[in-house]
Homo-oligomer: A and B are copies of this chain.
């Protein structure tokens, strides 16, 4: 029996599997939160005592007021940004926005635990103490898994997505700990930790789950006019709020301020080169919505690691300039190659939007760190920006550059190794994934009442 025949007989009924996974995992979250998670000193009613004890003059100095506006912007990126960006498929908009919602809602809980154990554990009582910064980091952690979803969009079941998220968050928390704490690399906007990891994790899974007969559902693997307009909602909310993404957990004061400026500029620059390349390679100079929806975001990815650094306004523009070109060229030339030669089917083209720009971002970060000088940063500024304090007090920029590069390698290793492992797990014939001829079709997992607006009433 061929692989294709076997798939055709697969059972996409998830009636017991999906509820079981949701219930058991949510119950586990409640138990683990009960054992481990508490409010931190800024979100606990004891804040009033803490304030007095630490000579904090005003409630406005609670971290909440530094980060909450950025947090909400990031939250919009995760749920509306990623969710709507993937609605471009003509008949998979429910799956795009709905499954994105499901896995993000699970992921943020699991991320609070995993990241909490590594970063926010209070050793005096063994509890994870959470505040607004933990919420942002949980959203970031989920972003990695949502990027990976882009590669397998339309080809997996919701149960597989939840499994992918469980492992993805776990791997993320470990690689993040190694990169940020052990190597002490900086990655404010997560070019390495989020984008490189998420993209290669998803691509590796997609490679293992390769479907040779996917063209049986080719007619559904595309957009219609209004689904492309829906996708632009996702694109624009990602694009507009990306300065908040890259500055959300940057240093108070100039750190957040500079990260926002750098990202704003890089993204503006990317739009122009994306349009240029898109027009240059299409017949009669017509623009392609796929490029506008995706490649315009590449600059935000690539400026992530260095967002907090003194990259200079023109430095940000240069990063955006090249990423718009590379990402759009990727859609035109590299995606077909990836599918035909490397057997990687990448529904949303995350290789062009996250993988390549993420790696570029890691490299830009390493170079910018290496090139940092006391003249440009000031003595205190250099120390603050790179946290050259405590055990890292003696580190110098050139060494920091090396650790930044090492961080990029760690992200790649975790992504590819983890992705292959998770891909093999997802290949087990128990997850309810669709047959080749039913990919990209909402009717497998959703009650669809009526597709078209008709005049039934007249």
Chain B residues lying within 8 Å of A257, measured Cβ to Cβ, are: 42-43, 47, 62-64, 131-132
B48–A384 CB distance below 8 A: yes
A269–B87 CB distance below 8 A: no
Using known A-B contacts A38-B313, A269-B29, A447-B289, determine if residue A49 contacts B380 with beta carbons closer than 8 Å.
yes
In Å, the complex CA distance between A267 and B59 comes to: 27
In Å, the complex CA distance between A245 and B51 comes to: 25
A224–B80 CB distance below 8 A: no
Shortest Cβ distance from residue A303 to the other chain B in the assembled complex, whole angstroms = 14
In Å, the complex CA distance between A239 and B101 comes to: 10
Using known A-B contacts A62-B253, A296-B101, A445-B287, determine if residue A45 contacts B314 with beta carbons closer than 8 Å.
no
A window 234-277: CB within 8 A of B: 236-237, 239-241, 243-244, 252-254, 256-258, 260-261, 264-265, 267-273, 275-277
Nearest neighbor of A100 in chain B, beta-carbon distance: B236
Shortest Cβ distance from residue A316 to the other chain B in the assembled complex, whole angstroms = 9
A230 within 8 A of partner (CB): yes
B18–A285 CB distance below 8 A: yes
Using known A-B contacts A253-B48, A260-B132, determine if residue A280 contacts B80 with beta carbons closer than 8 Å.
no
Using known A-B contacts A69-B69, A286-B447, determine if residue A237 contacts B80 with beta carbons closer than 8 Å.
yes
Q: How many copies does the complex hold?
A: 3
A427 within 8 A of partner (CB): no
B229–A87 CB distance below 8 A: yes
Chain B residues lying within 8 Å of A72, measured Cβ to Cβ, are: 69, 73, 240-241, 243-244
Q: What 1/0 mask marks residues of chain A from 61 to 74 whose CB sits below 8 Å from any chain B CB?
A: 11111101110110
Q: What 1/0 mask marks residues of chain A from 49 to 61 whose CB sits below 8 Å from any chain B CB?
A: 1010000011111
Shortest Cβ distance from residue A122 to the other chain B in the assembled complex, whole angstroms = 14
Shortest Cβ distance from residue A67 to the other chain B in the assembled complex, whole angstroms = 10
Chain B residues lying within 8 Å of A239, measured Cβ to Cβ, are: 79, 101
In Å, the complex CA distance between A101 and B235 comes to: 11
In Å, the complex CA distance between A50 and B303 comes to: 26
A44 within 8 A of partner (CB): yes
B105–A268 CB distance below 8 A: yes
A261–B22 CB distance below 8 A: no
Shortest Cβ distance from residue A344 to the other chain B in the assembled complex, whole angstroms = 23
A282 within 8 A of partner (CB): yes
A457–B280 CB distance below 8 A: no
A window 18-43: CB within 8 A of B: 18-20, 22-23, 25-27, 29-31, 33-34, 37-39, 42-43
Extra contacts, 19 of them, besides A60-B61, A287-B447 (Cβ < 8 A), are: A16-B285, A19-B277, A22-B275, A23-B273, A39-B312, A45-B381, A46-B378, A58-B61, A64-B253, A79-B236, A79-B239, A93-B226, A102-B271, A105-B267, A219-B456, A219-B457, A220-B457, A222-B450, A226-B230
Q: Can you report 22 residue pairs joining A to B where beta carbons are below 8 Å apart?
A: A16-B280, A18-B276, A19-B275, A26-B321, A33-B313, A38-B313, A39-B313, A43-B258, A44-B254, A45-B384, A47-B254, A48-B253, A49-B378, A49-B381, A57-B57, A65-B65, A65-B66, A68-B70, A98-B289, A101-B236, A289-B447, A452-B453
CB-based closest 5 A-B pairs: A45-B381, A15-B285, A105-B271, A59-B253, A47-B254
